[in-house]
Amino acid sequence: MAFVSKFHTPAFIAVIAAAALTTLTSTRAAAEAMLLIEADSGKVLHAENATYPWYPASITKLMTAYVTLHAVKNNRLTLDSLITVSANAAAQAPSKIGFKPGTTVTVDNALKMLMVKSANDIAYVLAEGVGGSVEKFADDMNAASRRLGMTQSNWVNPNGLPDDRQISSARDLAILARAVLREFPEYDMYWNISAIKLGKKMMRNHNSLIGRYAGADGMKTGFICASGFNLVASASRRGKRLIAVVLGSQSSAVRGAKAASLLERGFNTNGFQWISASLGTVESLTPISAEPPDLREEMCGKHRRRPAAEEADEEPTTSAGNQADPNSPTAFMLSSLAPASSKASSLLAPAGGHVNPIVVYAGPAKNSADTQVAAARSKLDKAAKTAAKKPDTKANQVAAAPAAAAPAASGQIAAAPAQTGTTTPAPTPARVAAPAAPGQIAAAPAGQFAPPPAATTRTSSRALPAVSETPASPWMSFAPSAQAATVPAPLTAVPPAPKAAAVPMPRPRPKNTAAR
């Protein structure tokens, strides 16, 4: 008993609490952040730690490209403008192109090198060429974040090299990716380049989905030891475009497989997505106030077989199908997707296939990129005008006028006219009850207690409820659905029934008390 009592002291309880806190912290550091949204609507299909702060690493360059294209769109410079490599840019750590100070390159070629090679020196070249200095360009990046509603993001450099002040989240990066696709559709060519060729050297895109996952068309990867392997990926199928964000994966192969799995589940909803709970839009996700997880030891510690790096694309994918532990006290997951039906790594074609690299170079433009973008913009405008001319059969469908109702036969209920979009049906004439026979109780008029026709008749405008009619996530709230309740139709006035004749009741027999 003395032995047992020692373990009920406050000191022992404090030790247990400290151990639990340590486990909680390590679990949080090991968790991943994942998010899947629709590019057009911003609707969230899956969210896992999506609002947890994270180091963006080289996904920062997606914001660098966004600010640069805004400058081009505002005529501050053109894609064919020459920008110069400074000594500060040339001194940046790898990954890099390695141009010497004083070298000039067009904005177009710099963007291609930035997105494919993820060149840190080229990010500085663009920042200094657009903003005049890295500090002023970082101010432009933060101004863009505020404009887009990226409330968890802060930028201090254009390339994502380690800096504890440079923070974002899966939520914010998805907002950024969506803005890039929606605001600059004529620049789509920059997001899905499979490889570039500089002189005799060919450099493949670090995004393992490009050319290997059906429909993949962008966007950007990132890695530093503190963040793990990050990826923002987009893909399109059958007119539907999705954006997946994966942060904190164990390797580049794992992040690619997980992004492919998310996208595949998003495309395979089979038209029954309205059944699942609505998770809202990406902007409506509530940010979490916390410190970003530091994965330095996990990603770059001595236990690794080889140093983790962005170029390590051939790492085994044995854990590619694993998700962050949903039972973790720090894992926050919402999903309207069905479970994966196949192994994540099987969704990607084998690596190392043939690619057609785009040639990049230093110096003036050989072929005007501005002309190519103008042609792409003209093509998009033409497609938009063609689509506008086509009638929208669903939106413009007009219900046929109701046919005149035939007169009701004697003792029958007149047929109600067809519904024409009004919310309250026309009153239904009631049938008048016949007088009761002598000795009978008068019958109630037919249909007096029946529900109105509108309560039992399905309208023909659609057979299934719309997505907006799905209830809020049951595990998020117990509040009633925001869908307006249907107002019942008023009761039809019924003429009073004729007074029934009195029914004579038999007299009760006298009780035989003597028999008791």
Catalytic sites, residue numbers: 58, 61, 118
Q: What region does 407 belong to: left with phi over 0, alpha with psi -120 to 50, or beta?
A: beta
Write the secondary structure of 150-163 as one string of H (helix), E (strand) and C (coil): CCCCECCCCCCCCC
Rounded to a whole number, what is the largest CA-CA distance in the chain? 131
> If we measure between CA atoms, which residue out of 170, 318, 342, 171 comes closest to residue 264?
342
Question: What is the DSSP pairing of strand 195-198 with strand 358-360?
Answer: parallel
**Residue 225 to residue 248: CA distance in whole angstroms:** 10
DSSP 367-422: S-HHHHHHHHHHHHHHHHHHHHHS--TTTS--PPPPPPPPPPPTTSPPPPPPP-S-
Type of residue numbered 476? M
Q: Where are the alpha helices (DSSP H) in 31-133?
A: 60-73, 87-90, 107-117, 120-131
How many CB atoms sit inside 10 A of residue 40's CB?
Answer: 13
Tell me the C-alpha to C-alpha distance, in Å, between residue 303 and each of 298, 307, 308, 461: 8, 10, 11, 62
Instruction: Return d(Cα 411, Cα 59) in angstroms, integer.
Output: 76
Do the Cβ atoms of 473 and 277 come closer than 8 Å? yes
DSSP conformation class of 312? -
Q: Rg of the chain's alpha carbons, rounded to an integer?
A: 34
Sign of the dihedral through C-alpha 54, 58, 59, 63:
positive
Q: How far apart are CA 353 and CA 350, in angstroms?
A: 7
Identify whether the C-beta of residue 43 lies closer than 8 Å to the C-beta of residue 249. Answer: no
Report the alpha-carbon distance of residue 316 to residue 309 in Å, rounded: 14
Q: How far apart are CA 96 and CA 93, in angstroms?
A: 7
